Amino acid sequence: MPRDTITDLIHHGYQPPDGFESPAPGVFKASTVIFANTAALQSRDWRRKDGYTYGLHGTPTTFVLEERIATLEGGRQCVLLPSGLAAVAVVDLALLAPGDEVLLPANVYGPSRELARQELRRWGITHRLYDPLDAAALAALIGPQTKLLWIEAPGSVTMEFPDVAALARAARAKGVITALDNTWGAGLALRGFEHGIDIVMQALTKYPSGGGDVLMGSVVTQDAALHERIKLTHMRLGYGVAGNDTELVLRGLPTLAVRYAAQDHAGRALAHWLAARAEVARVLHPALPGSPGHAHWQAHCTQAAGLFSVLLDARYSLAQVHAFVDALRLFRIGYSWAGPVSLVVPYDLQAIREPGHGLEGHLVRLSIGLEAVADLQADLAQALAQAF
């Protein structure tokens, strides 16, 4: 009996010729992975990366991105997650158990702290904040219950740059695992493993993607046993990434270094220009002398992300600060960063930091995109003139 056309549309005999190559790797998408026979089905172990079992466990496309991100960070193994925050969460959930404590820098990425405050707490895991600029004080904070130390270089929003190597040494001396949120460093300005870090996490959402159009996170390790702990939790929680999203990040990687350098160059030019403006009390950019932890940045990096904050003078009203932000035309108001469009967000220092941070004024964070620097500077100038 001839088969129905609909069946042929699903089980078609045509195979395209082998040997196709283009500059971009192919994009594979799957929930189901098809096995040749029962023996193949039964003998596959999803933990080995020499074959495929299920979409959640990886496709050629996700394996390719995993290897490239591991190379970028100078590590050996990588897991991918549907956001940077999910990457933070999988590290916490893989390594912490009831009764354990995690140490977070006082300037930690806000949602990472909320994760500790709300979710980890419900599982009997406590957290404490440490001063990222006081590596000497860290050893005294570490107790028998301390299992994980998060490091951010620089910290989110207030941009203090810690002595990464000294923090990693202090943790290692006490047997505490270190995890670096390397979203700012992007594996370019900073490579965590060279400074003694155990786990390097990144929001691929930011620089590696570069488009402002995809969310993804990565967790890279150098130690197979540590990777396996993270990978098992990753799998059990059902974290996977989609082929099309993976493709977007793969597409961004070839231009990562040139984008990073361009955004660094533009960011520093604008940071220096802003530092000389009367309206600006202080510029928080780790590559600028006088910024908190500048010496640590110099010891660890030569490059910087195109991301920094300014403290507008405390004599201005909040309404004036908001008028400044609202008057910007090229800088759009929005979270995230490292995309083509320059972004701006005003932050309430009192809401994001505990007292004692030593910063005064109204904080505004700028993410420098890929527009012409002169146009961005003109935009800042007209908005300052309007608001102050």
Which spans of this chain sit near ligand PLP (rule: CB under 6 A)?
Answer: 83-85, 109, 152, 156, 181, 183, 203, 205-206, 215, 217, 336
Pick the closer one to ligand PLP by CB: 241 or 288: 241
Q: Which position has the token pair 């999988």?
A: 90
CA distance 201 to 87: 7
Query: Which tokens belong to 186?
Result: 């992007």
Residues whose CB falls within 8 Å of the CB of residue 165, separated by 6 or more in sequence, listed in order: 195, 196, 299, 300
Nearest distance, CB of residue 157 and ligand PLP, angstroms: 9
Query: Which tokens belong to 207?
Result: 């620089």
Nearest distance, CB of residue 158 and ligand PLP, angstroms: 12
Contact 280, 235 (CB under 8 A): no
Nearest distance, CB of residue 111 and ligand PLP, angstroms: 7
* Interhelix angle 224-236/84-95, nearest 10 degrees: 110
Nearest distance, CB of residue 126 and ligand PLP, angstroms: 21
Pick the closer one to ligand PLP by CB: 51 or 110: 110
CA distance 234 to 237: 5
Nearest distance, CB of residue 346 and ligand PLP, angstroms: 17
Contact 303, 186 (CB under 8 A): no
Query: Which tokens belong to 43?
Result: 């003998």
Residues whose CB falls within 8 Å of the CB of residue 189, separated by 6 or more in sequence, listed in order: 260, 264, 301, 302, 303, 304, 305
Pick the closer one to ligand PLP by CB: 170 or 241: 241
Pick the closer one to ligand PLP by CB: 52 or 367: 367
Pick the closer one to ligand PLP by CB: 33 or 158: 158
Q: Which helix (H) or strand (E) holds 114?
A: helix 110-114
**Neighbouring-strand partners of residue 152:** 181
Residue nearest ligand PLP by beta-carbon distance:
84
Pick the closer one to ligand PLP by CB: 51 or 111: 111
Nearest distance, CB of residue 96 and ligand PLP, angstroms: 18
Query: Which tokens belong to 266?
Result: 């533009």
Pick the closer one to ligand PLP by CB: 132 or 217: 217
Nearest distance, CB of residue 384 and ligand PLP, angstroms: 26
